[in-house]
Each structure stands twice: as C-alpha cells, then as structure tokens.
Amino acid sequence: MPYELGDVLISRENIDERVRELAWDISSTYGGRDLVILGVLKGAVIFLSDLIRNLPVSMATELDFLGVSSYGSSTKSSGVVRIIKDLDISITGRNVIIVEDIVDTGLTLSYLVNILRERDPETLDVCALLDKPSRRKTDIEIAFRGFEIPDEFVVGYGLDYSGKWRNLPEIYTLVTNP
C-alpha cells in the first residue's frame, strides 16, 4: 500500500524550542553529574544530535548507540524486538539516559529498559521526542517527553517509513495514497 506525506504535525521551530527545553530539564535534573546518553538507532540520531548540542558544555556526556528493530517496513510494530547493535561501553554505576525518537506501544522501550537495568546503572531515565500514549501496551516511564501525539504514523526529523523521509526537518503525518 503506497503512502505519501500528509500535513506537518510539528514544525521545525516547535521542535527546536522543545529540544532546548528538554536539554534544560536534563541539565537541571542531573546537575554536574556525568551522563551516558544512549541513542536508539536509527530514528533518534537527529534528535539526539540536537539534544546534546543544547546541553551545557560543562556537562560531561559520553555517547553510545543501540540498534533495535521492531517495525521492519510496516507502519505497526511487530512486537518482536531484535537487538542489531549492542553497547560498546559499560553502563555499570553510571547515570544513563536512553534517547528514543518515539514511544508507541512501549514494548521495544520496555524491553530495552529491562535489559539495561540488568547492567546495573546508577540511574536510568528515558528521553523521548514523541509519545503516543493511546497505543501503549506496557507501562513505561518517560522522564523527559518532547511531544504527545495522536495515533498517527509520523515521519521526518529522523523518523522514517521503510527508510524514507528521515531527512525532513519537520514531523509529518503519513497518509495512504488512494
């Protein structure tokens, strides 16, 4: 079934403003403590890049990435999570923030949180650009939330459909092409 871009759901200006606010919230919460920021590939890369550039220079951060798959080329999560790339660093005893592009059913993120908690970090929080609570199938705590959105498939600003539209500076809805 072919898809095309719908309307702009969140403008570039609104994204920029909210990312600055999230960086402020993170720096206020963690003060002078060092952080490990874990990006969930590939969708969170653009958000994570903007987020860490807005953190204070004095806040020491280390980056690592997790690669997971639960969508394939569908617009609905399969519910089956595969780790494609694991961490390169130890998070034991460290302050960790998982940076995610979108929380939908919460199944993927819940799986990641459970696996990472087994590695004994000092703290483990979640920062998500988008939250779609109407689709939630598991209880997951999001400490730093960008935007709550309706139950629509979205692309842009790192989010894709079958590898397309990650490069868009805004977030768009995706609609079925009749």
10 pLDDT more than 90: yes
Tens of pLDDT, residue by residue over 97-147, are: 999 999 998 888 999 999 999 999 999 999 999 999 998 899 999 999 999
pLDDT digits (tens, 9 = 90+) for 82-94: 788 999 999 999 9
Active site positions, annotated: 104
Residue 138: left if φ>0, alpha if ψ -120 to 50, beta else—which one? beta
Cα–Cα distance, 9 to 80 (Å, whole number): 28
DSSP 135: G
Is pLDDT at 96 greater than 60 in this prediction? yes
- Which CATH fold topology does 11-153 show? Rossmann fold (3.40.50)
pLDDT of residue 1: 52
Q: What is the pLDDT of residues 33-81, one digit of tens each?
A: 899 999 998 889 999 999 999 998 778 899 999 998 765 544 455 557 7
